[in-house]
Amino acid sequence: MDNKRDACCAANEQALYDQVAGVIERYRDKPGSLIMVLHAAQEIFGYLPTKLQQFIADGMDIPLSEVCGVISFYSFFSTQKRGKHTIRMCQGTACYVRGGKKVVDEIKKELNVEVGGTTADGQFTFEIVRCIGSCGLAPAMMVDDDVYKQVSPTKLRGILARYTQEAEEEGVQE
Ligand code: FES
C-alpha cells in the first residue's frame, strides 16, 4: 500500500518536473527568462525547494548561485513549502494598538505556529504584514484574499474553525 503510494508520489513529482522542463524550454533564450521560469515553477510546485532550484539552473545552463540570488532578492519567491491558506495578520500601528498583538499570540497558540512558519498539517502559513488598508476597523487580518476586520481572539477562533472545517469536509469526500 505504502509502496504504491510512494510510486504514485514519484510519478506525480516527475509530472511536475516535466512541466517545469517545458517552461524552461519555452523561455530559455528570452531576456529576463529566469524570473519567468521561477514564477512558473513556483506556480507548479507551490514553492522552490533546493532540488528544483538545481533543476532550473541545470536546465537553463546557469550557476545555481544565480538562481539563489534571484530567489532571495524577490520576496514573492518562497523556498519553504506553504500552507494551503495564508494568514496575514496586520501589525501596522492602528492594528497593533487596538489589540493586534493579542490576536498574533492567539494564532500562534491555536495553530502552534511561529511567524513565517507553516502548520504541521500544511493548512496555514502565518505571516505578519504592515497595513492592509482597513485601519478604521482594526485589528485586521487576511486569510488568502478575504479580509477580516475587528478581529479579537474569540472572533479569530471562529474564523479558523471555518477553514479547518472545510479541510475536514474535503478529507471526508476523498
Ligand atoms: S494598520 Fe492594520 S489595516 Fe492599517
Whole-model pTM: value is: 0.69
Of the candidates 21, 53, 73, which is a domain's last residue?
73
* 127 CA → ligand 1 middle, Å: 14
Any ligand 1 atom below 6 A from CB of 134: yes
pLDDT of residue 5: 59
The cell numbers describing 38, all together, are: 521561477
Q: State the residue for C-alpha cell 511536475.
A: 16
Claim to verify: residue 46 and residue 115 sit in the same structural domain: no
Ligand 1 centroid from CA 109, angstroms = 22
User: Is residue 123 located within the same domain as residue 166?
Assistant: yes
The angle at the Cα of 132, spanning 43 to 164, to the nearest 5 degrees, equals: 60
Closest by Cα among 36, 39, 58, 37 to 47? 39
How many structural domains comprise the chain?
2
Residues 93 and 44 in one domain: no
Question: Which range of residues forms the domain containing residue 130?
Answer: 85-173
- Determine if ligand 1 sits within 6 Å of the CB of residue 129: no
Q: Which atom of ligand 1 is nearest to the CA of 134?
A: 3
Say whether both 42 and 104 belong to one domain: no
Helix (H) or strand (E) holding 90: strand 85-90
Continuous segment of H or E residues that includes residue 35 = helix 33-45
Q: Is the CB of 103 within 6 Å of ligand 1?
A: no
Q: Per-residue confidence of the chain (174 residues) as pLDDT tens digits? A: 456 656 677 788 899 999 999 999 999 888 889 999 999 999 999 899 999 999 999 999 999 999 999 999 987 888 888 899 999 999 999 999 999 999 999 999 999 999 988 999 999 999 999 999 999 999 999 999 999 999 999 999 999 999 988 878 876 655
Q: How far is CA 171 from the centre of its chain?
A: 20
Among candidate residues 35, 53, 73, the one where a domain is terminated: 73
Inside any domain, residue 78? no
